Structure 1
Amino acid sequence: MDNGVLEERLLASEAEEQPNLKRRIWVESKLIWRIAFPSILARVTSFGMVVVTQLFIGHVSALELASYALVQSVLVRFVNGILLGMSSATETLCGQAFGAKQYHMMGIYLQRSWIVDAVTATIMLPLFIFTTPIFRLLGEEEEIAIASEEISLWFIPVFYSYVFGFTIQMYLQAQLKNSIIGWLSAASFVLHILLSWIFVSILDLEVAGAMGAYNIATWLPIFGEFVFIFGGWCPNTWKGFTTAAFVDLWPIVKLSVSSGVMLW
């Protein structure tokens, strides 16, 4: 008799848990997509801008198209991988600070990451300035090596945007406020297509038009994120610029470098 009662209770308990399990799965799925979708949208639109720029440069000449593809696939991917990896340190530190409810530290970690990543980007700057000698050394054709330098100079503002774009994304994501990134990325992608069409197809600005549109569209969401952060939408985590950002930089450097090497 006791076994029968116990079995009935277990069956009743399982029946109660099934709806709860479905509800928990639904709640967790919504939470995951709330965090993941803006990041997915940002990555997709970022890659989309690369493709759109390549399409419009393809209308200029085959030489410019080859130069753009070479710079994008060799230099930009190299720098992108390193800075994206280093920015993952921001995600780790901000996540820990948010979990420990040390919200003020998140803004400090963000500023420290800006300093470390900006210095790293500056160290890699010669890759974009001396592109022609580098590609000559790698055995590329002379025409492509020369044309690549013009393209690579246009990429300098783009790769400096990675310093802020990647770190801010990690900072906002840690506090579940990264939906703004998705909206800004989508808007910048639409604007990029429009500007590319105007600059290249209508104004006939050729490479300058295509790369100028790319630079504008790349920096637009970052300026929007600055407004979001500095404008008071992160009151608990952003307390303004502080000299504390220049203190204890070495642990940030070590974590950033190890993360950059691991992901690169």
Structure 2
Amino acid sequence: MSGLRVLVGCKRVIDYAVKIRVRPDSLGVVTDGVKHSMNPFDENAIEEAVRMKQKKIVKEIVVASCGPSQSQETIRTALAMGADRGIHVEVPAGTDADLQPLAVAKIFSKLVEKEKPDLVILGKQAIDDDANQTTQLLAGMLDWPQGTMASVVNAADGRLTITREIDGGLEDISVSLPAVISADLRLNEPRYATLPNIMKAKKKKIEKMTPENLGVDITPRLKILNVVDPPVRQAGEKVPDVSTLMEKLKEKGHL
């Protein structure tokens, strides 16, 4: 089993360390002037593809990102990690927040038609909307087997053996190729891009296109009605002993 072509998704999101602020109109979060970076789960997806290439299982890694012009920076990061070339499906700034999982899955299905990959690896979910839908939607559209929330991936004899996290434990599944898998954080430890690789990434090709070029309608199917901050956690209360604690819990209806 060798010479696979892999398509990997990488999304530009607000950096995980940034404190999110709700917009004054309560229809989203503040993104202007806020640090962005690659979605952490997508870093795991790229790392896994690069490791498979180092094992001679994969011959080419193509990364794709849907978003505004700044998404090219995210693609360059993926190229510096070891991907071979990139595809930027540009969605104008200001409308990219309305790009929903169904539209992304449709875009990737068109990219699959164009690139003919043997394997698609996506992050389990994006940390901005936490939808965890794109992989499943894409697999359904392509009628390909899927392995979601993968924490271990092994390739042999034209198949993938995947360990995935489920409620209450781990599940091992085997899927034939072509397939779609989604990466969990425990799949690997993503590498840092070295300076030489960052310089090399500047020379790698990024192909630009739009959803219209691919014949995909990205009109949102869902409408955000309201976004609010989570409720402020109330202060705790100290009690002198266990019996008092039990009485307090009974009073508040927890027992």
Which fold has the larger relative contact order, with Cα–Cα distance below 8 Å and residues 6 or more apart in sequence? 1
Q: Which has the larger radius of gyration?
A: 1
Note whether the superposition's TM-score is higher than 0.5. Answer: no
TM-score between the two structures when normalised by the length of structure 1 = 0.30
Structure in which a larger fraction of residues adopt strand:
2
TM-score normalised to structure 2 length: 0.30
Structure with the larger helix share: 1
